[in-house]
Structures are given as C-alpha cells and as structure tokens.
C-alpha cells in the first residue's frame, strides 16, 4: 500500500504521539506535542492503510523553518518513509518562502544524519551534552539547508 504524506488530522494525534513516545528517550508531554501540531507549528503525517506511520513537526518563523521533530514507526524504517517526510518538509518550506531549514539531531543517530546529509543539509555546530540518553547525555549536531 502507498504511503501518503498529508497534514496530520486531529483524530490522528494519538497515533502520532505514540510514535513520538516510542522514538524518543524523554518524550514531550501530550499537551506539548499537541501544541506543536497547531499554529505557528505544522505537522505532516505519513499515512499507510489509514494508520500514521511517521510524522514531521515544523516551526516557521521569520523566513526560517525549524524541523522540531520527525519520527517513523520502527517497523517502517528503512523503506523511504523518512525521506518522503523530509522531502515534504523541504517542499512545504519552499512553499512558505523560507530561506533556510534548521534542525538538531542526536550525534548517534547515524541513519538520520545520513538522510539529512543526503538532502544537502550541512553541519553547522555541535551542542555538547544536549540530549538526555540512557547513557547520560548525548551531543546534538546542528544542521541547516539553504533554500535557494
């Protein structure tokens, strides 16, 4: 079945939040996640068989988009869903006339880093000990992509 990328519907919020909880060591509260799916944020969903299998949350402010969070269901990883979501984020950012997209990624998330670099994101800086993890703290790599 085909994966469809579209804005997250209110009735799908619980499904997306479940993915967030599964994909994040220290997940946001439901209210924070829910707030990040309404203006000035926007949330895209990857839907397959009427089930949310991935999502991406963006914040558009002053000509820049920040990719706040992106996740794909574990059993769906490696099938191009993350790439589809990232491409949809890039397309949405262009439609918003954004000049740049910013994100932070765990230094140990090699799959995501490869995805971002493959989409022409550049490493900007490292935030030391930024993310909590099971082993203590983990660095964040700050990345950006110019939209020319």
The residues assigned a catalytic role are: 104, 116
Describe the crossing of helices 110-118 and 81-95 by its angle, rounded to 10 degrees: 50
How big is the chain by its Cα radius of gyration, in Å?
A: 15
Token pair, residue 23, equals 């994909």
Report angle CA 36, 39, 45 to the nearest 5 degrees: 55
For residue 9, what are the contacts with CB-CB under 8 A and spacing of at least 6? 45
Sign of CA dihedral 34, 112, 96, 124: positive
């Amino acid at each position: 079945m085909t994966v469809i990328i579209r804005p997250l519907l209110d009735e799908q919020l619980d499904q997306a939040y479940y993915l967030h909880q599964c994909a994040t060591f220290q997940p946001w509260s439901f209210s924070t996640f829910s707030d990040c799916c309404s203006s000035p944020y926007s949330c895209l969903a990857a839907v397959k068989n009427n089930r949310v299998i991935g999502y991406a949350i963006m914040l558009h402010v002053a000509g820049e988009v920040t990719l706040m969070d992106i996740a794909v269901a574990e059993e769906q990883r490696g099938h191009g869903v993350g790439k589809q979501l990232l491409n949809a984020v890039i397309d949405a950012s262009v439609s918003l006339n954004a000049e740049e997209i910013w994100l932070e990624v765990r230094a140990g998330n090699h799959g995501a880093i490869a995805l971002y670099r493959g989409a022409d994101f550049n490493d900007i800086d490292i935030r030391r000990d930024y993310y909590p993890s099971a082993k203590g703290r983990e660095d964040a790599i700050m990345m950006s992509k110019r939209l020319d």
